[in-house]
Amino acid sequence: MSAMRKRRFNPDRDVKEWSGPSIPYDILKEAFVALVAVGCLVLLLAVVFSSPDEHAVTLKTWSTADPVDFAQTAITQLDGTSPVATYGPPYNSTPGAAQHIGFFEPAQWLGTHQAVDTAKDFVLGPLQTLPGDAAVHQAVSEYEAASSAQRQAWTSAYEKAVADAKDVNGTLQVPPGPYGPVGTIIARLTSMAQSGALDGALSGQGQFYNTNYTKPLLFIASGNYLADLAGHQHLQGDQWGMMNETGNYPGQAWLWLYTMWYQVAPMNSSSNADLEVWGIMMVLTLVLIFLPFIPILRSVPRWSRVYRLIWRDHYRRLAQSRVARPQSVSATVEPTS
Amino acid sequence: MTAPPVPRHGRASESAQWTARARRAAESAFPPERLLPDRQPAYLGSWVYVFGVISVVSLVWVITTGCVLALFGPTWWHTSSVGLFFNSMHLWSVEVFFFFMVLHLWGKFFMAAWRGKRRLTWATGVISFVVSIAAAFTGYLSQQNFDSQWISTQAKDGINATGAGAFWNVLNFGQMLMWHIVLLPIGVAAIVGLHILLVRRRGIVPPFEVGDHADGAGGDGDGSGDVVGTTTLEVGTAPTVERGVSA
């Protein structure tokens, strides 16, 4: 028979279906008992350990707690040197910023989709919403009317000055310098943030309802304040932070493998680490899904013999009955495609 | 006056209906004794089999507590002690769910549970694990607290690097909340449901034969040399029998 092909039984792919004895098994009762037991366990854990809820950081809390860090971050938003301003896709089109592995550069291919102009969106735009503040409106107009070289001279001078700034009872004090209107701009932005108005300006984006916090989060994440708080909570990247959460809670422990790749070379020092780690995880996920098709890997369970522990009662019974009589089996062997 | 008897399968054109075909296929794939069995193979006596059941009932608690949180909105648990309690139930049911799902996954790996046309069962199990990770991740992003701020601003780099950030913005609370409470739960429930149906259809994988131990070329691994587990069958004539394996 030409249509028929002989295929060797492979113990890692095929199975001899069970024709031995069966036992009564109330599957619904088991599920109900498990449901009640897990419910009790979850209830106990919730009562004893509750759940963490650290208050969110706002631009107000940040600028009040650390106005110097806020001002040092704000000037980089204005002059376009902040991490967000130079991020690349999907926030802007900074050349060469997108991560890549060789020619594979998916972020660059997909381009800018949440456009962020840090100077306009984070600094100049919000200040223009302040009512009745002639000084800041004049400073913004002067800055916008200036040449690119003049702006750079002012912002460079301010960056040097703000490096020596002081926090005097929550008030920003910056040494004098040739920074033109930039001093007024950053000082007003800081006081605007301390009042809470900057949170509203960045979150609202001109609408009454809004659920998109991309811009305020990007601003807050540009400074050191959020990262310092995260460091105290053991949430930094080099502290396996992606799988942790605040307090002594287990967090997303299932992300251990993803987090691990960031701790090892070359990813721990690579500028393309995120894409490399995601690439590794995608490959490993596909390997896991298609593991039944992969020779050697699919034999690991049989070689490991861990299954003898799982089915130890079965093998014990089998050993006892082996002498008595051989067991009849029928085999299910998958046809070759 | 009695109504004339209706033929069970009607005319040929009726039996070719999509509805009739779907019913026949469902009856064939899932006869009641297979869908809700009251007997199982004797080899089922292992705690490893419990992990899958616990994973499913944990998911029931995850969904139940999530529905309670959804009733009152995303800010409720920040301002109400009752809300905090249900958020805690939600959190810990997720932790229990993942703990036992990972044990279930490892258990099934060491049982080589894909054997005997069960590869799709294995694949749906892995995919449900991956989709569950995404569902849990969006939950962390939807907390509206420091955790969600930090996790989102860190995770954005990974998502953006893949290009997915162009349309899947982890900093967009509204988008992440919708994914967390609508799209991903539907995905998890659908895949887990399919996984359970496949388990019912194919049954629990039997243990390795004694002759399969070590390398499949004979011997049970203890060096004594037992029956060789290599059977050559003619494909196309070999029966597919699942007697006594209805779980």
Give the whole-number percent of chain B exceeding pLDDT 70.
80
A240 domain-assigned: yes
Question: Which residue range is the domain that position A177 belongs to?
Answer: 59-225
User: CB under 8 Å to A336, separation ≥6 — which residues?
Assistant: A5, A7, B235
Residue holding tokens 């008992």? A33
A2 domain-assigned: no
Which A residues, 30 through 69, put their C-beta within 8 Å of a C-beta on chain B?
A: 30-31, 34-35, 38-39, 41-43, 45-47, 49-57
Q: At what angle do helices A214-222 and B146-161 cross, to 10 degrees?
A: 90
Low-confidence winner among A84-88, B26-30, B234-238 (lowest mean pLDDT): B234-238
Low-confidence winner among A171-180, A287-296, B65-74, B210-219 (lowest mean pLDDT): B210-219
Bond preceding residue B31 cis, omega within 30 of 0: no
CA distance A99 to chain B (A): 6
What is the pLDDT at residue A2? 47
Tally of CB atoms within 10 A around B176: 24
Give B233 or A145, the one with higher predicted confidence.
A145
CB A199 within 8 Å of CB A126: no
Q: Would you give the DSSP letter of residue A83?
A: T
* pLDDT over 80 (residue A156): yes
Chain A to chain B Cβ contacts (< 8 Å): 356
Q: Does B33 touch chain A (CB under 8 A)?
A: no
Region B52-69 average pLDDT: 98
3-state secondary structure of A113: coil
Q: How far apart are CA B128 and CA B140, in angstroms?
A: 18
A265 domain-assigned: yes
B177 domain-assigned: yes
Tens digits of per-residue pLDDT, B8-35?
555 666 788 999 999 999 999 999 988 8
Q: Same domain, yes or no, for A114 and A242?
A: no
* pLDDT over 60 (residue B3): no
Chain A residues in contact with B83 by the CB 8 A cut-off are none
Tens digits of per-residue pLDDT, B188-214?
999 999 999 999 999 999 999 876 654
Give how many domains chain B has, as a whole number. Answer: 1
* pLDDT over 60 (residue A335): no
A298 domain-assigned: no
Q: At what angle do helices B81-110 and B119-141 cross, to 10 degrees?
A: 150
Among the partner residues B46, B111, B154, nearest to A301 by beta-carbon distance: B111
Tens digits of per-residue pLDDT, A5-34?
667 889 999 998 888 889 999 999 999 999
Low-confidence winner among A74-78, A156-160, A329-333 (lowest mean pLDDT): A329-333
Q: How far apart are CA A300 and CA A12, in angstroms?
A: 9
Average pLDDT, chain A: 91
Region B38-56 average pLDDT: 90
The residue of chain B with its CA nearest to that of A98 is B161
ipTM of the complex: 0.90
Q: Same domain, yes or no, for A240 and A258?
A: yes
Tally of CB atoms within 10 A around B115: 27
* The overall pTM is greater than 0.80: yes
Q: Same domain, yes or no, for A266 and A138?
A: no
Q: Same domain, yes or no, for A111 and A252?
A: no
Q: Same domain, yes or no, for A203 and A72?
A: yes
* pLDDT over 50 (residue B86): yes
Q: What is the token pair recorded at A119?
A: 């100077």
Exposure b/e, B198-230, CB count within 10 A at least 16 = b:
bbbbbbbbbbbbbbbbbebeebbeeeeebeebe
Give how many domains chain A has, as a whole number. Answer: 2
Q: Same domain, yes or no, for A68 and A138?
A: yes
Question: Which residue range is the domain that position B93 belongs to?
Answer: 41-203+227-243
What is the pLDDT at residue B10? 55
Tens digits of per-residue pLDDT, A88-99?
999 999 999 999
Q: At what angle do helices A148-162 and A182-195 cross, to 10 degrees?
A: 60
Tally of CB atoms within 10 A around A86: 16
